[in-house]
Amino acid sequence: MRTRLRGWFRGALGAGLALCGACASTDYPDLNLYSVDQDKAMGSRAYEELLAQSATLASGPEVETVERVTERLVASALELDHALAPRFDWQVTVLDAPDVVNAFCLPGGKMAVHSGMLPVAESDAGLAVVMAHEISHALLRHGTQRASRETAAAGLIAIFTDEPEEAQRAGVLGSLLLMMPWGRTEESEADLLGLRIMANAGYDPREAVRFWGRMAAGGGGAAGRLGEFFSTHPSERTRIADIRRALEEVLPLYEAARAAP
């Protein structure tokens, strides 16, 4: 019976059924059936698979920019003492993909930036907006939370106790996490934590209003290339208004970071 269940589960993932937005994904808001080590394992595995089939940039101004910004953001997350930040294996890679406006951070801290994101980001602060947002999805464990809710909704908790299948499951789910569309609550949470992380890193959080404005307007001539990002980060009309409201809370963090020696 368990073998049949597992087979069904894998089949469901393969068919994308686990992505079904109607699968009671708003129930069990804080449920997470995974350990942090499992987040890291599946993130690493998906990352390796992705890098094995992608062209990457090893050096140059794009790599320098991405490394400089993500290093400051990770240091800021550590400084804000987010419980998970010290446990993650942070790493970033620039993908040689000038036609793709996308970036992500997998569970466990493995990040990638498609080189097409950089012209839309325009500056370090612009890149910090999107990377702090991505880092926040990982720190908030949205990936495994979502996977857990949908598994629970499907009544399949039992399979999570079966160790031998773990590696395979990690691979399947890890790849799935790259395509998983976030919900409105997850987007708002990642926006807010992201603003705190970037402000504390000394990046002006007001840039978030300008960055998301550029993205909403089609990425400054990048229209048609934003589909991949927006398919996983549904943009709400309220996003920019919510960010404006949050600025009052995060601007003091930015001012304190700027005043620090």
| Touching Zn ion, residues 223-242 (CB under 5 A) | 233
**101, 120 in Cβ contact below 8 A?**
yes
Alpha-carbon span 144 to 159, nearest angstrom: 15
The minimum distance between CB 183 and Zn ion, in angstroms, equals 10
The minimum distance between CB 104 and Zn ion, in angstroms, equals 9
Interface characters, 175-204, with Zn ion (x: CB under 5 A):
-------x----x--x--------------
Nearest residue to Zn ion, scored by beta-carbon proximity: 233
Interface characters, 134-173, with Zn ion (x: CB under 5 A):
----------------------------------------
**78, 85 in Cβ contact below 8 A?**
yes
Q: Number of residues in contact with Zn ion, rule: CB under 5 A?
A: 4
Interface characters, 83-122, with Zn ion (x: CB under 5 A):
----------------------------------------
The minimum distance between CB 229 and Zn ion, in angstroms, equals 9
Per DSSP, what are the bridge partners of residue 104? 112
**Looking at 134, 150, 186, 207, which residue is catalytic?**
134
Q: Hey, what amino acid is at 104?
A: F
64 is known as an active-site residue: no
Tabulate helix, strand, coil % of the chain (nearest 5): 60, 5, 30
Alpha-carbon span 115 to 133, nearest angstrom: 17
Q: CA 229: distance to chain centroid?
A: 11
Residue closer to Zn ion, measured from CB, 165 or 228: 228
**Alpha carbon separation from 191 to 135, 167, 184, 185, 215 (Å, rounded):** 10, 32, 10, 10, 14
Interface positions with Zn ion (CB under 5 A): 182, 187, 190, 233
* Residues known to be catalytic: 134
